[in-house]
A and B are shown apart, each in its own frame.
Chain A
Amino acid sequence: MTTVRVAGVGLTPFGVQPERTARDLFAEAGLAAIADSGVDRDDIEALLYGNFMGELAEHQGHQGPLMAEAVGLDVPATRFEAACASSGVALRQAVKNIRNGEADVLLVGGAERMNNLGTAGATEALAIAADDLYEVRAGMTFPGAYALMARAYFDEFGGTREDLAAIAVKNHDNALPNEYAQFRKTITVEQALSAPMIASPLGLFDACPITDGASAAVLVSEDYAKRHDIEATVAVTGTGQGGDKMALQDRGDLATSPAADKAAKQAYEDAGIGPKDVDVAEVHDCFTIAEVLAIESLGFFERGEGITAARDGKTTRSGSLPVNLSGGLKAKGHPVGATGTAQLVEMTKLLRGDHARSDAIPGASVGVCHNAGGTVGSAVVHVLEVVA
């Protein structure tokens, strides 16, 4: 089985850019990834592309071929949808296709246009990642769903809004030098605590913003990289995916994310590593409580201990395991279909040493990306390693 290497990565700025179509966003990210890779564009064999709300946001289904065309490629192109894990599952499929010998060079990525819908429209579009019959019709919103999990977590393990605020403060601080991030300003715990409530106990600063953006990467086989003298020091060495019941009410437990547990276990086994080997992580912090669930599922902290990890400095830049050095979804932004591969982009740069926050992790060789769909009804975890 071949090693899958990350030959090139590309991002658009993440932020409020409602006038830009998804095809324009993806073209920017995709072309940047191809340029960064040094790969002959004619060698790209297929596009695997993630998008969630294209039908609602811009009346556009069947985005695969449209996006291949946007980057000037005449290749088979398929859209993957798993809510906010859409490009994470596209990435997983790309890794499998290269490993099994079907392909040597693939373009993978995602895009999402959200701000043209307005806050109410985007809230509505995001809500359909929940169960329509039993959740959406009861008025459940996406923040509301995570609020239900936050309350369940507090009841089961303890924790406070101050603990959650420390996560937001950390991720905002991390985003400061990230030129692609939506928010590049620090916030304080006091500001987070006094922000308006969205869905108690979650306030405005517990939530990621509504973001337009795209991300892409060129993946190549070990053999292709050698034959074409492609410099690609970072490899995807582990992949895993887990699933769970769609509706929270049907889950065994509301204070954990078993889909991510399964994805992490599979990805670690695949890479032949464990949580203790990980130097740095990018996790799906669409809400502050989501980062807590993620770092516990990834095995970095025991159940009930993830809540204080940021407050105690364990996951800050100077901590033993920096989490979301990019700023995370919280500060970097969350164009949902683009998020999974955006994490791959950020982690690749962190490990290559050309990320604005690479200085925080000198010599780091193992990174993990965790991408969740909906209320973690889907979860994808990838292990990245420097293979030189």
Chain B
Amino acid sequence: MTENVRDAGYDDLLDAIEAGEGFYLRCANGHGSLPPRRACPHCGTQALEQEPLPESGEIETYTVVHVATPEFAEDTPYVTAVVNFGPVRLTGQVRGIDPEDVSTGLVVGVGVEQTATMGERLLIFRPR
């Protein structure tokens, strides 16, 4: 990761989620995607609008990671999940529940917290 340089779009989204104002991008044809985008990845249209991210989503698939990269060495074991929010999916870590109790279909909300190893921001999901 590049030090001290923001990633436009991505860091804006994390800021917004931290402020409780998460959003996604919707194209003129109704496809959802995540920033930064200049074109819809599904149809190529360049008319993209910010829409509020739904309050909660459902875990679509997940894994308990035991062998991590050095940046996450002290975070293990952790749960990485793909969560379906309807118009978009988000990938992040599930916290606030024993990893053994995580299941597909579990309803979660999204937030921003720090990794244990490096103190970097990341998307997290907590049951709600």
Contact = CB atoms under 8 A, between A and B. Distances in A.
B80 A148 contact: yes
Interface stretch (A60-68, A101-109, A241-249): A241-249
Contacts of B66: 196-200
B72 to A, nearest CB: 4
A344 B63 CA distance: 33
B78 A139 contact: yes
Interface in B56-98: 60-73, 75, 78, 80-82, 88-93
A139 B122 contact: yes
B34 interface: yes
A123 B67 contact: yes
A350 B23 CA distance: 53
B69 A127 contact: yes
Contact of A148 (B63, B72, B73): B63
A254 B61 CA distance: 9
Contact of A199 (B60, B63, B88): B63
Nearest to B64: A200
Nearest to A118: B70
Given A133-B10, A155-B104, A245-B41, A138 B80 contact: yes
Question: Counting chain A CB atoms within 10 Å of each CB, which of B66, B71, B78 scores highest?
Answer: B66
Contacts of A199: 63-67, 80
Interface residues of A, number: 36
A178 interface: no
A141 B65 contact: yes
Contacts, number: 101
A143 interface: yes
A248 B82 contact: yes
Given A124-B71, A141-B68, A143-B67, A148 B89 contact: no
A139 B34 contact: no
Interface string B85-128: 00011111100000000001000000000010000111100000
A157 interface: no
Contacts of B104: 151, 155
A121 interface: yes
Given A196-B66, A249-B88, A139 B61 contact: no
Contact of B68 (A123, A137, A149): A123
A138 B92 contact: yes
B67 to A, nearest CB: 5
A254 B66 CA distance: 21
A173 B78 CA distance: 33
Contact of A198 (B67, B72, B78, B81): B67
Contacts of B10: 133-134
Contact of B70 (A120, A147, A149, A155): A120
B90 A249 contact: yes
A305 interface: no
A151 B65 contact: no
Contacts of B73: 120
A372 B39 CA distance: 26
B49 interface: no
Nearest to A200: B64
Question: Counting chain A CB atoms within 10 Å of each CB, which of B33, B92, B93 scores highest?
Answer: B92
A332 B80 CA distance: 29
Nearest to B75: A139
A135 interface: yes
A141 B67 contact: yes
26 contacts: A123-B67, A123-B68, A127-B69, A134-B34, A135-B91, A137-B1, A137-B121, A137-B122, A138-B80, A139-B68, A139-B80, A140-B80, A140-B91, A141-B67, A148-B62, A152-B60, A152-B61, A155-B61, A196-B66, A199-B80, A200-B64, A201-B63, A248-B91, A249-B89, A249-B90, A249-B91
Interface of A: 119-121, 123-124, 127, 133-141, 143-144, 147-149, 151-152, 155, 196-202, 245, 247-250, 254
Top 10 closest A-B pairs, CB basis? A147-B63, A249-B89, A124-B69, A152-B61, A200-B64, A139-B72, A199-B63, A151-B61, A133-B10, A148-B61
Given A197-B64, A197-B66, 7 more contacts: A133-B7, A137-B122, A139-B122, A143-B65, A147-B63, A199-B63, A199-B67
